[in-house]
Structure 1
Amino acid sequence: MSKFVSCHAKYFKRSQVAGLHGHHTRQFEHDANVYPEFTPFNFTTQLTKTFKELESEMVNAKRIAGKKSSNLHFRNDANVLIDNVLIFSREQLDFLRIKAPEHWRGLLEKCGRDLALGIQREFGLLPMDIHWHFDEGHYDEHGSFKHNYHAHMTFFNFDFKTLEQPLRKMKRADFSKIQDLAAKSFGHLGFERGLKKSVTGKSHKEKAVFLADSLKVLESEKKELELKVQELQKVYDDALSGAARMEIKFQHAVAQLKSVQGELDELTSQLTTIKQNSDPREYAQIKKIERLERENAEFRQLLGLNNSEVMGSSDEPTQLPPKYKS
């Protein structure tokens, strides 16, 4: 009977974190490799914090240590997560589920924690969580489901003691050592070390599924951003439209003011010219006319009459103020 437990390490950049999390937590409705009727058997072991929280703590730790601002964050091309995929022998895990139906999950979690902490002690990688998947596999010709038992053990690529990215220093032999640690951690459950394999960041049969999941997440995020852009564009257009209307009104008022001011200046100039060029007797006559016009205006104001009322008739005599009596 096969009893192997093996590891396969994959590396992910910051732009891939959302897609990886979506695959781990089954956020996608359609996945060719997933059989939803078995998804309730999946479970998660949370070891530390989320990527976002750890990234924030990393930046703070570097800032406190006096690192340059340009070195506080991960570079765009940096591998920020390591997904250590644990693959279990179906026969041995089926045997474990039958042998310990009430405790097999707890036993797996204990071994998983032991392995994660062992990897941290050995290499400095910070364990985040373990996602145990029991909903992938296939139905055989007899209609029996054959589980593809595996777990995603995720590590944050940063050592808070050394303030370095441990993955940069890890070599092929180190990943072979992880295989040894896995066999040691799960050995008391009857698992044995799997065959040695080359461990790289290249694709394997799960990559197509992962890329499809990542694409779904990115498309969803893209739509959300497009909606936000449309909303902001509308706010901008409305503000611009309002500002444009106010600008037009302002320019129109300025034009009117300039026109009236011009007319006033022209009339003032003409009046000054007339006064300067007039004979003193003509000027005196002009002043007399101006005085009569003012008195006429005062007279109308006192009577409270308009032009039509002055020209019309009235049965009642009008009593004039003393100023205008003969």
Structure 2
Amino acid sequence: MMSDHDRITILLSRRLAGELTPAEEEELRLALEQDPMLQALSSALDGVTDAPPRGVTEREEQQMMERGLRQWRLRAAGLHVVGRGAEEAVPMEEVTGVKERSRRMLRIRLIRWSAAAAVVVFGTLGVFRYNKKTPPPTPMQAPVAWHEVAAKYGTRSYLDLPDGSKLWLNAGSKVQYATGKRELTLSGEGFFDIRHDPEHPFLIHAGNVVVKVLGTSLNVRAYPGDSVVETTLIDGKAEIDMPGRAIALRPSEKVTMHNGVQQVHKVVADPTYKTIIETSWVEDKLIFRKEPFREVAAKLERWYNIRIRFGNDKYLDEELTGYFKDQPIKNVMDALQLSLGFHYELAGDSILIK
């Protein structure tokens, strides 16, 4: 059974050849009236009715037809070709089917040319309609691969980040990051050496703050349960976004947020220990200066992977100062005991403060 597509093709070809009967002419006219695009294509076909000029061989005529068909198909695809080389770069397979259908359908030279053009034009119509109704597919994005690295209590870790930045993790800390992103989430404490890339700032999510880094070494501390979130800038540039405020840090500055209050402090090396306390843990130094025992106890738990319990609240807010490097927990507790005068019991991985 002949389709409407084939029927219109034949009618257009017969009209171009001057062989339409009155009935067929009326049939084609009604079809054109029902489809404005067909009217435009019919007018375009009127421009291909001229036969090749005299003196052109059959082979040359065939080559002309093939070049013409290639140009029609390029236009159908929305391409603009300039020059013979670009034109002939189109694979011949694209026009072979059209040419063969034209030869089977028609007998004389004029009909062969017009029918070939009609078939290509209808191919063009199909392209136009497809593009109008069906939007181009959205390119599929590769799934983001997330990674998590943790430093358990009693350990410290180092890792190279995918962008070339470096990260040291303190005990009881972890980070989550994605390949291909200059961004991560920190829970705990980390010292960062961020590779400089002004076009792509590095984002560190820690607690309820976001640290934007351009190329910097800094320390960020945001342990779950701690009352203080702290960012210490050693060198470079960093901006801290926190609720209600953004702070641009300068080298050797520290911003702390405690109970919603932000403060900026100057950071200097401790004159006694000749080191910056905020980053001393990277050198395996455990230092605290005038810190409440409750906060020191939390540091000791992470540093030595132990549990410290207080038999009463007597010593919780007593301030402690100390410097330890490569010392067992018993030596640390003995030193603190001398400072405050408390008693303690050490059993396995548990310490009771009396």
Larger radius of gyration, structure 1 or 2?
Answer: 1
TM-score tier by shorter-chain length is: under 0.3
Please state which structure has a larger fraction of its residues in strand.
Answer: 2
Scaled by the length of structure 1, the TM-score of the pair is 0.17
Scaled by the length of structure 2, the TM-score of the pair is 0.16
